[in-house]
Amino acid sequence: MADPETLPEAERLEDDAYALSGETVRAAREAVEAGDAGALTALMAPLHPADIADLLEQLDEGARHRLIDLYGHEFDGDILSELDDSIREDVIAALSPAVLGEAVRELESDDVVDLLENLDAPQQAAILEALERPERLAIERALAFPEGSAGRLMQREVVTAPEHWTVGEAIDFMRASLDLPEQFYHIVLVDPRFRPVGHVTLGKVMAADRVTRLADLTEPSFRTIPADQDEEDVAYAFNQYHLISAPVVDASDRLVGVITIDDAMIVLAEENAEDLLLLAGVGDESISDRTLEIVRRRFPWLLVNLGTAILASIVISLFEDVLAAVVALAVLMPIVASMGGNAGTQSMTVAVRALATRDLTGSNAWRVIRREVGAGLLNGLAFAVIVGIVGLIWFGMPLLGLVIALAMVVNLVVAGLAGVLVPLALDKAGIDPALASGTFVTTVTDVVGFFAFLGLAAVILL
Amino acid sequence: MADPETLPEAERLEDDAYALSGETVRAAREAVEAGDAGALTALMAPLHPADIADLLEQLDEGARHRLIDLYGHEFDGDILSELDDSIREDVIAALSPAVLGEAVRELESDDVVDLLENLDAPQQAAILEALERPERLAIERALAFPEGSAGRLMQREVVTAPEHWTVGEAIDFMRASLDLPEQFYHIVLVDPRFRPVGHVTLGKVMAADRVTRLADLTEPSFRTIPADQDEEDVAYAFNQYHLISAPVVDASDRLVGVITIDDAMIVLAEENAEDLLLLAGVGDESISDRTLEIVRRRFPWLLVNLGTAILASIVISLFEDVLAAVVALAVLMPIVASMGGNAGTQSMTVAVRALATRDLTGSNAWRVIRREVGAGLLNGLAFAVIVGIVGLIWFGMPLLGLVIALAMVVNLVVAGLAGVLVPLALDKAGIDPALASGTFVTTVTDVVGFFAFLGLAAVILL
């Protein structure tokens, strides 16, 4: 009953419509412990590869390896694609070379590329060796594009037609083809030099007469994507222009592949997760990382934070005599800094988000800055009244209330200003604002908060 | 030259591959100021509706209204769909009823629903009146589904075929149809009671012979979505199972519409943005909100933060005599709290993210908790050594170094624990962990940080 891996009432966490059920995880764990390959295979047969990947992530290392031993020969390549990076390496290492080779040979070329990118050299070599020569060459060509580029994201299999073809010719051609891609949504029209000139949705082809020219059915939303374009820009274009698929071209505008919306959706989700984690001072961390890995990833951010905290302490140390004279200052001191830090984080997060979605630009930056300062001033005045009264009532010192009220106004205005200027400046300098804004903004609000509060106290109270 | 709306070197902010260029925004502003409708229309003609929406968002209110007056009669309904909520109301109010009616009549039913959802009653009525009766009824039916449900997200236009049809019959049927949807990717097979039993991608239909039965071409990934399902779950299913489109069914499993991946992608992006903003203590804020709107949205979060900051101050006030005796404590005090707050935010963000992606569940919660405590302990020990030495060197008091070192270990362990337990508890209680975790976690780390540091100081130093 007291299974240490399971929280009481664990079901409550999983009352979601999809996702692996806690029941399934428990049953799989029991089958693994009993060494019952039949029960395990029966349990896993109906699961989607994405859910099997989630199951592997939920188990601890020992149980995961025993599961792979029991289930290994049925191992689907798509499971590997769905796994978290940290778990994936472990699973690949645990698979026998024969099972790994079989699993990888089933995958589409863009999935193999995605798999290889995050593996170390020996594992990469093992997988490449398992592939047939033509596919290996195709994958090595894809890996020649820079990491995070459209060339890595695209699939090479594209359905094309000469621009002068009719609907009937296209349908006959496709019926005769033996290796059409698993999923495709457009026929790309190409000129004699294999440059894409337009594309036609399959729905339009279906609905048209056989004699209709494909060129008369092309979509106005057609856009090509350069193979060296950053995948973040690709995801932005898909989201902004509601693209379903877009041809990828090389430097001489020739067609080299196609990117589909499902790939763009994955990139978008990854970019959003990255921004969220970076803003919190966590790099590329996942819930399945080991303890030492977590420590290693978080330590540098905490070290930077220690530096800024010491800076704030130095500011405080300038006012030791004031603090010694009025101990109430030490009691109230964190309030101003904490409010400034929060207000700065609010402005900063809105600004970082707006930069990522390209809604904050040079054209409206001044307006946004003015608005942030205005909002900081208004909230500052409101909280000045509140904390002024708190200070007055708590310590019975009207001048102390005045000091904290004035410091509050100063710090909330500065917080609004820093919250938008810091991300703008980092973006201009070519640094990801999500990466470094938080540290700078809270340093500013801490230093200004303590300096304003204790400095005003020195002038007004002493 | 000194245009107050434009930052110097504004171009640097916009060296992105897509998005509206600063150049275009400036040219549009000039054309609006000159009242030059011809130049404005020429400038805007090549722009995608999403880019025109961005342009309207970049302008201030006066310029926006003048642009609408000059350009109004050409106003495309898709521009309305792409606008930010706050700007959209303003634009709809500025459009003449005739132009608004024309713009809305062009839209697909799901886009009209999306438009109506966020408008106030008089604007909703104005738009519904502009529509023809059948479309108005269809939209009122969609609005009968709960907000944020699959029923609101779906489009009602679906291409269906009886399950016994062949490829040839399906193609002939589509050629004869006059009103196929603008975009579709699957033919949904339905039984005689109009319940979806499978679907076939258009690519498979294209590639097959006319005599092939559609039922032999269905996709294994087929899933139906209940109309009352939450759109967040829909987006999860699309992302998890790589769906392209999925039929929506009512309570008796009958087909009522279809959701496509582009709709799911929009929901996913919105959910991610919402989590990011909620974690930072900003509600549903956008860069185009007015100052008073910003103040109104942020004030409640800052008020909650003030409450927790006062709580921390009360903890400090318990130790006024210790602070009066050793002023160095006031100087170093913020370091422990700041490090705890940062470490807690790190753990919490990873946990909130993992809950959103359903990677943190009852099955692995204990393992994650143990790992967070372990990581907190290790980082706590590392930083204990560092701050111990800093305290010793700065103030020359070995015992002060010991106090801050011990407090650091305590607070980083507590931070790791609170960072994962708080989101888990909120999720169990049915509260969005992104909404409230931040406040609780930093309250815990502030209170524990100050209490541990000053309490240990009272015991060890006095």
Contact A264, A234 (CB under 8 A): yes
- pLDDT at position B6: 41
Please state, in angstroms and rounded to a whole number, the distance separating the CA atoms of residues A35 and A69: 10
Residues B26 and B131 in one domain: yes
Residue in A4, A239, A305 closest to B338 by CB: A305
Which residues of chain A does B320 touch, with a Cβ-Cβ cutoff of 8 Å? 327-328, 330-331
CATH number reported for the structural domain that contains residue B373 in this entry: 1.10.357.20
Residue ranges of A 123-162 with Cβ closer than 8 A to chain B: 159
Who's near B161: CB < 8 A, 6+ residues apart? B169, B170, B173, B187, B188, B189, B190, B214
Residue ranges of A 314-343 with Cβ closer than 8 A to chain B: 316-317, 320, 323-324, 327-335, 337-339, 342-343
Q: Which of A223, A246, A279 is the last residue of a domain?
A: A279
- pLDDT at position A116: 86
- pLDDT at position B18: 64
Residue with tokens 């609006």: B32
pLDDT averaged over every residue in chain A: 89
Residue in A203, A317, A348 closest to B180 by CB: A203
> Which letter does DSSP use for residue B106 in this model?
T
Best of B12, B206, B212 to substitute, by most chain A Cβ atoms within 10 angstroms, is B206
CATH number reported for the structural domain that contains residue A88 in this entry: 1.25.60.10
Domain that holds residue A95: 10-144
Q: What is the ipTM of this complex?
A: 0.86
Q: Using pLDDT thresholds of 50, 70 and 90, give the confidence band for residue A17.
A: low
Residues B275 and B297 in one domain: no
Please state, in angstroms and rounded to a whole number, the distance separating the CA atoms of residues B360 and B355: 5
Q: Using pLDDT thresholds of 50, 70 and 90, give the confidence band for residue B101.
A: confident
- pLDDT at position A19: 64
In terms of Cα–Cα distance, which of A366, A365, A376 is closest to A342? A376
Query: Do A334 and B330 make contact, defined as CB atoms within 8 angstroms?
Result: no
In a domain, B255, yes or no: yes
The better pLDDT of the pair B16, B291 is held by: B291
CA distance B204 to chain A (A): 9
> Which letter does DSSP use for residue B259 in this model?
E
Residue in A14, A159, A299 closest to B379 by CB: A299
Q: Which of A144, A171, A188 is the last residue of a domain?
A: A144
Q: Is B114 on the interface with A (CB under 8 A)?
A: no
Q: Using pLDDT thresholds of 50, 70 and 90, give the confidence band for residue B11.
A: very low
Please state, in angstroms and rounded to a whole number, the distance separating the CA atoms of residues A220 and A179: 28
Number of domains within chain B: 3
Q: Is B203 on the interface with A (CB under 8 A)?
A: yes
| Among chain B residues, CA nearest to A51 | B240
Q: Using pLDDT thresholds of 50, 70 and 90, give the confidence band for residue A9.
A: very low
The better pLDDT of the pair B439, A12 is held by: B439
In terms of Cα–Cα distance, which of A186, A359, A262 is closest to B265? A262
| Among chain A residues, CA nearest to B16 | A233
Q: Is B17 on the interface with A (CB under 8 A)?
A: yes
Query: Do B201 and A207 make contact, defined as CB atoms within 8 angstroms?
Result: no
Query: Do A7 and B362 make contact, defined as CB atoms within 8 angstroms?
Result: yes
| Among chain B residues, CA nearest to A263 | B242
Does B314 score more than 80 pLDDT? yes
Does B204 score more than 70 pLDDT? yes
What strand order describes the sheet that includes A225-226? A225-226, A245-249, A255-260
Please state, in angstroms and rounded to a whole number, the distance separating the CA atoms of residues B326 and A289: 42
Which residues of chain B does A177 touch, with a Cβ-Cβ cutoff of 8 Å? 207
Q: Using pLDDT thresholds of 50, 70 and 90, give the confidence band for residue B192.
A: very high
Contact B441, B419 (CB under 8 A): yes
Residues B257 and B317 in one domain: no
CA distance A37 to chain B (A): 21
Residues B446 and B303 in one domain: yes
Calculate Rg over the CA atoms of chain A: 29
Q: b/e map of A302-315 (b: 16 or more CB within 10 Å)?
A: bebbbebbbebbeb
Please state, in angstroms and rounded to a whole number, the distance separating the CA atoms of residues B42 and B20: 15
- At B147-170, the pLDDT tens digits run 899 999 998 889 999 999 999 999
Compute the half-sphere exposure of residue A446: CA atoms within 13 Å on the CB side of its CA.
Answer: 24
pLDDT averaged over every residue in chain B: 89
Residues B318 and B451 in one domain: yes
Residue in B16, B185, B349 closest to A358 by CB: B16
Residues B312 and B266 in one domain: no
Residues A64 and A201 in one domain: no
What is the number of other CB atoms lying within 10 angstroms of the CB of residue A350? 28
CA distance B329 to chain A (A): 9
- pLDDT at position A362: 85
In a domain, B5, yes or no: no
- pLDDT at position A447: 96
Please state, in angstroms and rounded to a whole number, the distance separating the CA atoms of residues A157 and A163: 18
- At A145-166, the pLDDT tens digits run 998 999 999 988 899 999 999 9
Size of interface A-B (CB pairs under 8 A): 445
- pLDDT at position A3: 43
Q: Is B405 on the interface with A (CB under 8 A)?
A: no
Please state, in angstroms and rounded to a whole number, the distance separating the CA atoms of residues B223 and A347: 41
In a domain, B187, yes or no: yes
Residue in A54, A330, A343 closest to B302 by CB: A343
Q: Is A385 on the interface with B (CB under 8 A)?
A: no
Please state, in angstroms and rounded to a whole number, the distance separating the CA atoms of residues B92 and B364: 49
Q: Which of B117, B144, B171 is the last residue of a domain?
A: B144
Calculate Rg over the CA atoms of chain B: 29
Contact A181, A281 (CB under 8 A): no
Which residues of chain A does B346 touch, with a Cβ-Cβ cutoff of 8 Å? 280-282, 298, 301-302
Residues B61 and B194 in one domain: no
Contact B306, A335 (CB under 8 A): yes
Q: Is B386 on the interface with A (CB under 8 A)?
A: yes
Residues A27 and A87 in one domain: yes
Q: Using pLDDT thresholds of 50, 70 and 90, give the confidence band for residue A58.
A: confident
* Token pair in block for residue B321: 């005599």
CA distance A38 to chain B (A): 23
- At A343-383, the pLDDT tens digits run 999 999 999 999 988 889 888 899 999 999 999 999 999 99
Which residues of chain A does B18 touch, with a Cβ-Cβ cutoff of 8 Å? 233, 236-237, 240-241, 358
Does A13 score more than 80 pLDDT? no
Please state, in angstroms and rounded to a whole number, the distance separating the CA atoms of residues B48 and B24: 13
| Among chain B residues, CA nearest to A282 | B346
Residue in B5, B302, B313 closest to A367 by CB: B5
What is the number of other CB atoms lying within 10 angstroms of the CB of residue B375? 29
- pLDDT at position B131: 86
Residue in B309, B368, B386 closest to A339 by CB: B309
Residue ranges of A 43-102 with Cβ closer than 8 A to chain B: 48, 50-51, 54, 57-58, 60, 84
Which residues of chain B does A429 touch, with a Cβ-Cβ cutoff of 8 Å? none
Residues B207 and B249 in one domain: yes
- At B259-284, the pLDDT tens digits run 999 889 989 888 888 888 998 888 77
In a domain, A405, yes or no: yes
| Among chain A residues, CA nearest to B368 | A287
- At B225-268, the pLDDT tens digits run 999 999 999 999 998 888 999 999 999 999 999 999 988 998 98
Map residue A318 onto helix, strand or coil: coil
* Amino acid letter, residue A205: V
Residues A366 and A223 in one domain: no
Q: Which of A323-327, B36-40, B112-116, B300-304 has the lowest mean pLDDT?
A: B112-116
Which residues of chain B does A379 touch, with a Cβ-Cβ cutoff of 8 Å? 295, 298-299, 302
Query: Do A342 and B281 make contact, defined as CB atoms within 8 angstroms?
Result: yes
Range B21-44 average pLDDT: 89
What is the number of other CB atoms lying within 10 angstroms of the CB of residue A264? 26
Please state, in angstroms and rounded to a whole number, the distance separating the CA atoms of residues B93 and B44: 21
Query: Do A378 and B291 make contact, defined as CB atoms within 8 angstroms?
Result: yes
Residues B321 and B456 in one domain: yes
Residue in B292, B327, B357 closest to A320 by CB: B327
In a domain, A219, yes or no: yes
In a domain, A378, yes or no: yes
- At B51-96, the pLDDT tens digits run 999 999 888 888 999 999 888 777 888 999 899 888 888 898 888 8
Contact B214, B170 (CB under 8 A): yes
Q: Is B258 on the interface with A (CB under 8 A)?
A: no
In a domain, A263, yes or no: yes
Contact B346, B435 (CB under 8 A): no
Query: Do B261 and A262 make contact, defined as CB atoms within 8 angstroms?
Result: yes
Contact B111, B138 (CB under 8 A): no
Q: Which residues pair with A249 in a beta bridge?
A: A226, A255
Residue with tokens 């090389």: A250
- pLDDT at position A127: 85
Best of B342, B359, B404, B439 to substitute, by most chain A Cβ atoms within 10 angstroms, is B342
> Which letter does DSSP use for residue A149 in this model?
B
CA distance B177 to chain A (A): 7
Which residues of chain B does A279 touch, with a Cβ-Cβ cutoff of 8 Å? 276, 279-280, 349
In a domain, B152, yes or no: no
Q: Using pLDDT thresholds of 50, 70 and 90, give the confidence band for residue A18.
A: low
Q: Is A19 on the interface with B (CB under 8 A)?
A: yes
What is the number of other CB atoms lying within 10 angstroms of the CB of residue B15? 11
CATH number reported for the structural domain that contains residue A274 in this entry: 3.10.580.10
- At A85-112, the pLDDT tens digits run 888 888 988 888 888 888 888 887 778 8
Specify the DSSP element, H or E, that contains B88. Answer: helix B85-94
| Among chain B residues, CA nearest to A340 | B302
Q: Using pLDDT thresholds of 50, 70 and 90, give the confidence band for residue A2.
A: very low
Please state, in angstroms and rounded to a whole number, the distance separating the CA atoms of residues A331 and B258: 60
Q: Which residues pair with B257 in a beta bridge?
A: B248
Contact B288, B88 (CB under 8 A): no
- At A383-396, the pLDDT tens digits run 999 999 999 999 99
Query: Do A291 and B378 make contact, defined as CB atoms within 8 angstroms?
Result: yes
- At A209-263, the pLDDT tens digits run 999 999 999 988 889 999 999 999 999 999 888 899 999 999 999 999 999 998 8
Which residues of chain A does B317 touch, with a Cβ-Cβ cutoff of 8 Å? 331
Cα-Cα end-to-end distance for chain B? 66
Query: Do B302 and A265 make contact, defined as CB atoms within 8 angstroms?
Result: no
- pLDDT at position B390: 94
